[in-house]
Structure 1
Amino acid sequence: MNFTQFSVPYPVAEPYQKKVAYFSMEFATHQPLKIYSGGLGFLAGSHMRSAYELRQNMIGIGILWKYGYYDQGRNQDQTLDVAWNEKQYSFLEETGIRFQITIHEHPVWVKVMYLPPEIFKTAPVFLLSTDVPENDYVSQTISHKLYDANVATKLAQFILLGVGGAKLIDMINFNPDLYHLNEAHGLPAAFYLYKKFENKIEEVKKRLVFTTHTPEEAGNEKHDIFLCKKMSYFCGLSVDEAKQLTGMPDNQFNHSLAALRLAHLANGVSKLHGEVARKMWSKYENTCEIISITNAQNWMYWADKQLYRFSEAGDDYAFDDRKRYLKKRAFEIVADQSGKIFNPDVFTIVWARRFAGYKRANLLTTDEERFKKLMSNTEFPVQIIWAGKPYPVDHPAISEFNELVFLSKEYANVAVLTGYELTLSKRLKQA
């Protein structure tokens, strides 16, 4: 593969000639490539798969996380155990590309790996890593853990994605028409482009689009603007210049607000979320238009094809048999992990997603007496499955997960699963 004049290695469909570079901190393309944590990665992975099927002129830009998100296991008492294990990927291609970017006013080497489209039927994906011997240990750790808890390291990761990704694009001469930020993590790319186009902000805006996911303003990350400057986030701009460019009124740099001011178009991820986002950000001046594009997942990857064939044929008996099989297959995982045999004929509630406090995994359990009645109702029996990965230093979320584990020990019809990744998610969703 020649990476000096890169073009997508498949014929591009006529409606999708426009070149797009898609920046995301995580991509959930397939189970073996463990560089994702939750919904943001699931969306990005499906985008890459759909781009391949539609023959879009798109590349993905991400980070090759040495230890992934983490490996979720159990302690002896079944509570959550966090393990950091180095990942190996023989299917990634070494590009031979090496370059330097500035992080913390210090040169950091970046190497680039490549996920060819034919491996997982995705658009081409380039993955950046600082884990090379040319770097000191601190610089190597930038690409070790997805969403590192250390604030300075997290900002360094944003710079790696944004500046590293934008510089890579120049090195491979891809020349995208659009730089698409899946959340604001890759925003330093905008400052790289501002410098590249000699401080012409209109050249940045016409190329930048932004997907915002968080409908709660407090959930949109802010960091001290002087720390951002110290970390080289602004590509050489002073704090005053960065404030003037992004309209920040104080010393808290709001990444999402800056993205809304530096992009020419943004989108929420559902009709309702678009409405909420427009209302939430309307009090700020000079933000771009926010439209609604409903989140979706790639049908070819997630759907059970036989189930759909039976549905389209109107074969209700075959449909029911297939659905029962899919349930039993998922319940085998429940039995393997918990020692509990679930009944495929019983109504089953599944809560399976990234484990965070605001997602309210324990909502059903807040009324203890009502929960007991629900779980002991023999006339209308119910089974419940919880699955999800808490952030490894989110101790309230971990406590909530462990409380559900202890609660599940009291009921034969309640299970809490570990190892929530693509394969488990797919099995549960198809069931």
Structure 2
Amino acid sequence: MAFQFKAPAPAAKYKTPVAYFSMEFALDQALKSYSGGLGFLAGSHMRSAYELKQNLIGIGILWTYGYYDQVRDADQTMKPAFIEKNYSFLQDTGIVFPIIIHDAEVHVKALYLAPETFGTAPMFFLTTDIEENDFISRTISHHLYDPDTAARVAQSMLLGIGGGKLLDVLGRQTDIYHLNEGHGLPLAFYLYEKHGRNLEEVQKRLVFTTHTPELAGNEEHPMALLQKMSFFCGVPEQEVRQAARVEGDSLNYTLTALRFAKKANGVSKVHGRVANEMWGHYEGICPIISITNAQNGTYWRDPQLAAAAKGKDDTALLARKKELKKELFKTVADQTGTLLDPEVLTIVWARRFAAYKRADLILRDFEKFERLVTNDERPVQVIWAGKPYPKDFGAIDIFNNIIKTTKDLKRCAVLVGYELGLSAELKKGSDLWLNTPRYPREASGTSGMTAAMNACVSVSIADGWIPEFAKDGENCFIIEHADEKLPENEKDTIEANTLYNVLEKAVALYYDKPEQFTKIRKAAMKDVEPTFESGRMAKEYYEQLYK
């Protein structure tokens, strides 16, 4: 029987049919379709869309090898491994259709993830890894964020053009097309061609979320390469230049999306301001508002912790927190052979691994760090985890250097395999959540939200979402950032020293005034919801971006 898509009946206020395009979605530990924060955010959005009965479907790519599997080399250092994934829970729709890449037909197959499987909006995943294609075409959907430039361009075309065409093949009316980051930009040209090359018709339908507050992170490629690869869906280069107001030899994905969309958003108030500073002086861009990222409480919060936090007696909360620490420490022992103590203050640094996030800031003055983790009167344990991009050799070096630097310290551990399951364990089993990006380069940084839901207190630079949440010393601990005009090396030194001072205060509270520390935990749990729960975010997208 031919596949027929029938979406669940939407709630009256969410009837507008929306399609949400993202290169990655973190929906469940079993589905390896994400690398880090962008996917975690998209996954929470899909869960809240389901809970609110929104008329929204998600469109992504089925990555044959996922992002990568993070494993250890013989000397315990990190190395990437690529293992083929197979998923019994994805339904083969039988839908196969061609798109044009590099003037040749590439066949695309659509697989369906039903809402009830993981409690998400209906999802479609596209793949080119099918028998109808030659080997090169099959590899387009092999690796999330393929390092080869032509492959990356082809992946954008698969998401944008393939996703746009799938909606037409399904016969699904779509009023709003939402690009989550610029990867799916070819969708804009697909719609431009579909609507008679009328830019205003595209602008009525397209909205855009930007996540990247640094110019270098916003994808850009030579016009000649994009034209050669059929990126523009048959629209002549001169017309592309005119519609997208291209000056020079390259096309910037973010700037072009801002010119083809009716409205865009940054992902925190700080980022909304930064995005307007970055792009606001360009002609023809749409308004950029801010809709702060959020995470799904149903998925992330520990129900027993949440229930205990509502009681007046803190005994149940602390007992449950201790249980969760023990669970995390089993994973630590299994991976590293290090035994940690659930009575000891535990700090975690864990997120997508990139140099600007400064996982090693706490190690900058190693003598101070060593004193912190070897003090037997007020002991401190530190755990790191995170996945660098597999070709980001600078970030991989930092990761491996942390392993080598801390290997003889009995209260330190570095974990591999930072995915949804481990991420949840780390947030539930830690006391302090360390966030040390270079300001203002963290657009949102949502990991601290899910930590706070689980009685873990942020120790953070005031970047991304943190300024909207923070009451220093009441629901978190703020690391003041140094003067932005200073050289990076000086800033790192100043902020590392500030970090040690902040940690000294937090450690003293944990051991000398445990009731006060528990009060801060509970304030973090209370203040993070509902403002930073993704139900609020999903509502705001309908109210502020889709209408």
Cα drift, residue 261 of structure 1: 0.8
CA distance in 2, matches of 1:170, 1:119: 25
- Aligned positions, number: 429
**Which amino acid is the alignment partner of residue 7 of structure 1?**
K
Alignment partner, residue 223 of structure 2 = 225
SS at match of 1:393: coil
Q: How does 1:10-159 map to 2 (within 5 A)?
A: 10-159=8-157
- Which of 408, 417, 420 is residue 419 of structure 1 equivalent to? 417
Alignment partner, residue 329 of structure 1 = 327
Cα drift, residue 374 of structure 1: 2.4
Cα drift, residue 263 of structure 1: 0.5
Alignment partner, residue 214 of structure 1 = 212
SS at match of 1:195: helix
Q: Contact between 2:2 and 2:94, CA under 8 Å: does it hold in 1?
A: no
SS at match of 1:95: strand
Cα drift, residue 292 of structure 1: 1.0
Q: Contact between 1:302 and 1:430, CA under 8 Å: does it hold in 2?
A: no
Cα drift, residue 2 of structure 1: 6.0
Render the CA deviation track for 1:102-128: whole Å, top value 9, x for unaligned.
011111000110001111011110000
Cα drift, residue 81 of structure 1: 2.1
Q: Contact between 1:49 and 1:122, CA under 8 Å: does it hold in 2?
A: yes
- Which of 187, 194, 197 is residue 195 of structure 2 equivalent to? 197
Cα drift, residue 343 of structure 1: 1.6
Q: Is it true that 1:399 corresponds to 2:397 in the alignment?
A: yes
Q: How does 1:165-204 map to 2 (within 5 A)?
A: 165-204=163-202
- Which of 239, 242, 245 is residue 241 of structure 1 equivalent to? 239
CA distance in 1, matches of 2:272, 2:160: 25
CA distance in 2, matches of 1:159, 1:373: 52
Q: Contact between 1:65 and 1:145, CA under 8 Å: does it hold in 2?
A: yes
CA distance in 1, matches of 2:380, 2:233: 56
Cα drift, residue 3 of structure 1: 4.2
Q: Contact between 1:73 and 1:83, CA under 8 Å: does it hold in 2?
A: yes
CA distance in 2, matches of 1:326, 1:14: 40
Using the size of structure 2 for normalisation, the TM-score is: 0.77
Cα drift, residue 345 of structure 1: 2.1
CA distance in 2, matches of 1:204, 1:247: 15
Cα drift, residue 366 of structure 1: 2.0
Q: Percent identity?
A: 58
Render the CA deviation track for 1:234-260: whole Å, top value 9, x for unaligned.
111232222211112111211011111
Cα drift, residue 64 of structure 1: 0.3
SS at match of 2:310: helix
Render the CA deviation track for 1:130-165: whole Å, top value 9, x for unaligned.
001111100000000000000000000000000000
**Which amino acid is the alignment partner of residue 169 of structure 2?**
M
Q: Contact between 1:3 and 1:172, CA under 8 Å: does it hold in 2?
A: no
Render the CA deviation track for 1:367-405: whole Å, top value 9, x for unaligned.
223222322233332211110111111111111111111
CA distance in 1, matches of 2:196, 2:25: 32
CA distance in 1, matches of 2:239, 2:245: 10
Cα drift, residue 342 of structure 1: 1.3
- Which of 276, 300, 303 is residue 301 of structure 2 equivalent to? 303
SS at match of 1:313: coil
- Which of 381, 390, 398 is residue 388 of structure 2 equivalent to? 390
Cα drift, residue 314 of structure 1: 2.5
Render the CA deviation track for 1:20-60: whole Å, top value 9, x for unaligned.
10000011000001111100100111111111111110100
Q: How does 1:238-387 map to 2 (within 5 A)?
A: 238-387=236-385
**Which amino acid is the alignment partner of residue 65 of structure 1?**
W
CA distance in 2, matches of 1:2, 1:305: 41
CA distance in 2, matches of 1:174, 1:379: 64
Using the size of structure 1 for normalisation, the TM-score is: 0.97
After superposition, the CA RMSD in angstroms is 1.2
Q: Contact between 1:267 and 1:290, CA under 8 Å: does it hold in 2?
A: yes
